Amino acid sequence: PSRHAADPIDSLPPTFRWGVATSSYQIEGAVAEDGRTPSIWDTFCRVPGAVANGDDGDVACDHYHRMPADVALIADLGLDTYRFSVAWPRVQPGGRGPANPAGLAFYDRLVDELLGRGVDPWVTLYHWDLPQELEDAGGWPVRDTAYRFADYAELVFARLGDRVKTWTTLNEPWCSAMLGYAYGDHAPGRRDLGDGIAAVHHLLLGHGLATQRLRAAAPAPVELGITLNLAPADPATDSPADRDAARAADGLANRIYLDPLFHGRYPQDVLADLAAEGVRVPVRDGDLEVIATPIDVLGVNYYFGQLHSGVDEQGRERDEGGRPVRRVVPRDLPRTAMGWEIVPESFTDLLVRLHRDYPGVPLVITENGAAFDDRPDEDGFVADDDRVAYLTEHLRAVARARSAGADVRGYFAWSLLDNFEWAYGYDKRFGIVRVDYDTQRRTPKRSALWYRDTVRRVRDRA
């Protein structure tokens, strides 16, 4: 028999970091305990029609009360890193003033539990749960929120910085800014492009300020960074109109974050597109230097890429208002339960492109995963071969990008648990561990067992 080509996954090095990710509002529940105040998501969930089935995070996975058992799940899978987020309204109720010791104590216990089990904690400071009081004062479109975030970051660091070595400031500022303030699909549900773009800038400013504060406060070296959701945007055809549509999509999804972070400037073409919409970025002198404060790691969240076109179905390049047509062209590809196309090749392209255009910063995949229509058997076991295939193909995509030179240092599956999937509520399940929301019973799916075995195999090759 012929020799089989080795699985690219087996080329990942022994130092590669393997983990899972979650976020506070999606799993914790206990929204009114130990002094936590409402976040914009508690409020948004009560807006009729905002979230599927009227779901909310009041109980979620009840992780706040089940934390040690959830940490045991991670350790039993043999993973070395757990990426979780801290709920701002838990540790600094209302978003200003002194820390709430009872709120911080939860994360203190979590960190100790992880370290005791040999799992490294990776903290995300902000995964979308802005204290409602700060939204009432204007939210992210207001400059002051950036300074409030830096204060909050410092206060969490003062308590956990002796044990947590890796920190990401923000998770996916695109979602916070655009879904929250421009498109209204996420909390706080505002729909104004100008607010969205102001939020982009103040999120980035908050990131830069927090990075400076943490660096100054750190007694020993720490790893600091940010996580972006990067969305590969390819032209549907080689026509100038389609190429321009892909350029514009890439600009607003990716380069409007990457260029200020790594080159200290907003991309000119994006500023021009925004100006055509009557929108400008509220930059003040010195902001871009703060935003470009060097970081140690870029977190990359990847789910899918899309094809873009600049012509409508009738072949027109302008809409009624005279604006250029911007359209996503669906492909005949397999999709996840979210309707997202499965395109692992775009993951490789993205990582190689980051290496080319923004060299020198190590990359870690801080989220990758998929929702599928899970069918549990009587014991609650899910034979999720579709998720195993998705994860396998995407890990291969990462390994291929590494072979092409991209400096990818780790991979975290989204998510440890089925959880509150934002506007989709509990309908969409991303977990490698099933959660029965009636009993809160956790059952590792086939994908969890596959992940455990894969990590073990790659490590054992070393």
Q: Which residues are annotated as a binding site for substrate?
A: 26, 127, 171, 303, 414, 421-422
Cis peptide before 415 (omega within 30 of 0): yes
CB of 144 to ligand GBH, least distance (A): 25
**Which residue in 356, 250, 345, 364 sits closest to 304, CA to CA?**
345
Structure tokens at 101: 């010791």
What is the distance between the alpha carbons of residues 93 and 102, in angstroms, rounded to a whole number? 11
- The region of 4-12, 144-152, 167-175, 442-450 touching ligand GBH under the rule CB under 6 A is 167-175
Set 289, 367, 378, 393: catalytic member: 367
CB of 400 to ligand GBH, least distance (A): 22
Q: Is residue 273 close enough to count as binding ligand GBH by CB under 6 A?
A: no
Residue with smaller CB distance to ligand GBH, 119 or 175? 175
Q: Is residue 129 close enough to count as binding ligand GBH by CB under 6 A?
A: no
- The region of 170-178, 239-247, 354-362, 442-450 touching ligand GBH under the rule CB under 6 A is 170-178
Percent helix, strand, coil in the chain (nearest 5)? 45, 15, 40
**Which residue in 263, 167, 179 sits closest to 207, CA to CA?**
167
What is the distance between the alpha carbons of residues 280 and 282, in angstroms, rounded to a whole number? 6
300 φ, ψ to 5°?
Answer: -115, 120
CB of 231 to ligand GBH, least distance (A): 6
Q: Is residue 303 close enough to count as binding ligand GBH by CB under 6 A?
A: yes
109 φ, ψ to 5°?
Answer: -65, -40
Distances (CA, A) of 21 to 24, 27, 73, 263, 431: 10, 11, 13, 29, 10
Nearest residue (beta carbon) to ligand GBH: 229
CA dihedral 290, 353, 172, 436 (to 10 degrees): -150
Strands, E assignment, 166-305? 166-171, 223-229, 233-235, 297-301
Q: Which of 79, 104, 146, 175 lies at the binding interface for ligand GBH (CB under 6 A)?
A: 175
8-state DSSP, 241: H
- Map residue 395 onto helix, strand or coil: helix
CB of 44 to ligand GBH, least distance (A): 14
Please tell me the count of residues contacting ligand GBH according to CB under 6 A: 13
Per the CB < 8 A criterion, the answer to whether 26 and 60 are in contact is yes
CB of 301 to ligand GBH, least distance (A): 6
Residue with smaller CB distance to ligand GBH, 159 or 428? 428
Q: Is residue 23 close enough to count as binding ligand GBH by CB under 6 A?
A: yes
Q: Is residue 24 close enough to count as binding ligand GBH by CB under 6 A?
A: no
Site string for ligand GBH, 343-382 (x = CB under 6 A): ------------------------x---------------
Structure tokens at 354: 């980051």
Close Cβ partners of 67 (under 8 Å, ≥ 6 residues apart): 106, 109, 110, 113
**Which residue in 271, 277, 143 sits closest to 204, CA to CA?**
143
- The region of 42-50, 168-176, 267-275, 398-406 touching ligand GBH under the rule CB under 6 A is 168-176
- Map residue 365 onto helix, strand or coil: strand
Site string for ligand GBH, 422-461 (x = CB under 6 A): --------x-------------------------------
Q: Is residue 309 close enough to count as binding ligand GBH by CB under 6 A?
A: no
Residue with smaller CB distance to ligand GBH, 157 or 430? 430
Per the CB < 8 A criterion, the answer to whether 411 and 17 are in contact is yes
Close Cβ partners of 268 (under 8 Å, ≥ 6 residues apart): none
Site string for ligand GBH, 200-229 (x = CB under 6 A): -----------------------------x
**Which residue in 21, 137, 18 sits closest to 454, CA to CA?**
18
Active-site residue, 172 included: yes
Active-site residue, 367 included: yes
Structure tokens at 50: 């905002």
CB of 360 to ligand GBH, least distance (A): 25
Set 154, 172, 289, 317: catalytic member: 172
Residue with smaller CB distance to ligand GBH, 27 or 73? 27
Residue set of the binding site: 26, 127, 171, 303, 414, 421-422
Q: Is residue 171 close enough to count as binding ligand GBH by CB under 6 A?
A: yes
Q: Which of 231, 252, 270, 298 lies at the binding interface for ligand GBH (CB under 6 A)?
A: 231
Structure tokens at 320: 């009624």
Residue with smaller CB distance to ligand GBH, 60 or 408? 60
Q: Is residue 421 close enough to count as binding ligand GBH by CB under 6 A?
A: yes
In degrees, rounded to 5, the angle at the alpha carbon of residue 334 between the alpha carbons of residues 328 and 339 is 55
Which residues in this chain contact ligand GBH in the complex, by CB under 6 A? 23, 26, 171-172, 175, 229, 231, 301, 303, 367, 414, 421, 430
Q: Catalytic positions, please?
A: 172, 367
